[in-house]
A and B are shown apart, each in its own frame.
Chain A
Amino acid sequence: MSVSARADIDRRVRVSSRGTGPRRALLWAALAILAVVAVMALFPQLVATQDPLRTDVRAALEPPSAAHLFGTDQSGRDVFSRVVHGAGRSVGIGLLATALALVIGLVVGTLSGIAPRAVDATVMRVTDVLLAFPEFLVALVVVAILGPGPTNVAIAVTIAAVPVYVRLARVQTRSLSLAEHVEAARILGVPAMRAFVRHVVPGVLGSLSVLATIGIGSSILAAAGLSFLGLGPTEPSPEWGLMLSGGRNVLVTAWWIAVFPGVAITLTVVSATIVGRSLRAGAEGRAR
């Protein structure tokens, strides 16, 4: 192991252990929750106790019990299994939108950073306008134009997430193009294009990934809001936002249907935000 790599690890360890006791405990709790959510999303059948789509009218609206951990809904479906199976769809759309937005943001932002001034100014103007609105509102307008449906919801949430990444990628490209190691590569005779791809783009990608960890949360929230309104997946798909809208109508008799999917959304988003913030603090510490 080279000295510089060891120093790097050393610095990273120091940064991550810099937080006080409770803060570290919180970070570990957030990572644990995200791990559970990931298992639920990838292997729902391992966690779920029943088929999320199997209806049983005789067991409708039963409160939480040993047989049905989170109770049952109007059609007697097991709410726990539906929450578990919903993870794939609800978190998946957030992940997919964030990943796509990151790639689009990386391409548009880095190119805008080296593009002629007129192109750069136009791109920045458009992102400025989009950034002035909350993601949910932008996504809602896009769905209003494209029409409802799961695919259009995914497109809308992606478009709503893109501007932040474009903005950051452009700023990072500008500052990294002037950084010492890129300058050094240029002096050593590395062609401009190669220096850009090998030495600027990876650095930009690093900053964007940190931002993406926080962005996943807001994309999940925007997607859940659209499905709650009935603009995304339709019954009987298990999806957290959609389950909440079903639970809204039986709130008087069955609180559990509307509580557990909401807890799942909030816990996932809080955890993603905590991990993202800690990554960002680490990245800032390393930059200093």
Chain B
Amino acid sequence: MKPLLSRIAGLAASVIIVLWGAATLAFLAFRVIPGDPVSVMLGPQAQVSEAVKDGIRAELGLDRPPLEQYFSYLGQLLQGNLGESYQLRMPVTEVIGRQLGATVQLTALALVIAVVLALAVALFARGRVSRGVVAGIELVVLSSPVFWIGILLLSVFAFGLGWFPVSGTRNPATIILPAVTLALPVAALLGQVLRDGIEAAERQPWATTVRARGAGQVRLTAHHTLRHGAAGALTLAAYLVGSLLGGAVLVETVFARPGLGRVTLSAITDRDLPVITGIILFSALVFVVVNLIVELLYPVLDPRLRPIDARVREVRT
């Protein structure tokens, strides 16, 4: 039991280190860039006297020494307090919390669509010609701006054919086009990695053995080579989640959907530093959690990575 405990302790330590690193970088970054946060916060048109600005500075604690600011910031973070939005005048955790649901729905559905598409292509595009066609489509999808794919889908399926509603959140069907848009580049990347892994596995001697036992192509892929492809795809998991998050900013803008992406964009244009910091920290948390899940999934996919005693137990049963 000891190795498991020390492994968990190690993982927990790496989670804390990554989050602390992200928090520190965000803190430093906003102190390095030029510009007075209070002037930025009030906007260029504001006619405010220096005395009032000093008052705001004192209220936000910006007049205290940097090191003291840093520790009180870390202390606040430990209590789960991300500060208050300059523009919206509400706690950052609430700003993020309110919009989180919409983005989670969108990215989760997109991920499901992407995985299904990539698996379908990996399983059924077997011939030389179909693989060539698929590779061509993947190249074009990966070379197109994701927001342009969204615009095209919107004009064909919403405005042209009228199959889907244009925007709004009441109608559940509005999520389909944005999710497909977000899914396409992810599916293309995932498909490439899966296919590379499967093709490499097919060149292994054991693949010939499996074929010699009379297994068909689909069985070989589904039961044997897909596992190898999936292990390769899993290493990309964090990258794929990153492209879903980045894509969400673009896709939510194209489809005028509420969500974290829209919050991020308005925080960037309004220079709402607490919200930006909050979103950076939140993304770091997502990144860490995804990596943890990947760590735990590896041994499930690849038996060679399981601890020895677990393997022995498996052989005995």
A interface list, Cβ under 8 A from B: 132-134, 136-137, 140-141, 143-148, 217, 221, 224-225, 228-231, 241, 244-245, 247-248, 251-252, 255, 258-259, 262, 265-266, 269-270, 273-274
Contact = CB atoms under 8 A, between A and B. Distances in A.
B307 interface: no
Given A251-B159, A273-B139, A266 B144 contact: yes
B206 interface: no
A225 B151 CA distance: 13
Given A132-B287, A269-B144, 17 more contacts: A132-B242, A144-B264, A145-B26, A145-B29, A145-B33, A147-B35, A229-B249, A231-B268, A244-B148, A245-B147, A248-B151, A251-B154, A258-B155, A262-B151, A262-B152, A266-B143, A270-B140
Main secondary structure of the interface of B (DSSP, over half): helix
Main secondary structure of the interface of A (DSSP, over half): helix
B139 A270 contact: yes
A34 B264 CA distance: 35
A112 B144 CA distance: 35
Q: Which 3 A-B pairs have the closest CB atoms?
A: A262-B148, A137-B246, A269-B143
Contacts of B147: 225, 228, 241, 244-245
Contact of A141 (B30, B139, B271, B280): B280
B246 A140 contact: yes
B151 A251 contact: yes
B143 A229 contact: no
Interface in B198-256: 238-239, 242-243, 245-247, 249-250, 253-254
A265 B145 contact: yes
B265 interface: yes
A134 B250 CA distance: 14
Interface string B142-166: 1111111001101100010000000
A97 to B, nearest CB: 16
A270 B135 CA distance: 12
A115 B152 CA distance: 50
B151 A145 contact: no
A225 B280 contact: no
B145 A225 contact: yes
14 contacts: A132-B242, A134-B243, A136-B247, A137-B246, A140-B268, A144-B267, A145-B26, A147-B268, A231-B268, A241-B145, A247-B151, A255-B155, A269-B144, A274-B139
A136 B151 CA distance: 19
B144 A133 contact: no
Nearest to B245: A137
Contacts of B139: 270, 273-274
A133 to B, nearest CB: 4
Contacts of A144: 264, 267-268, 276, 279-280
Q: Which of the listed residues B26, B35, B152, B279 has the most CB atoms from chain A within 10 Å of its own CB?
A: B152
A265 B265 CA distance: 23
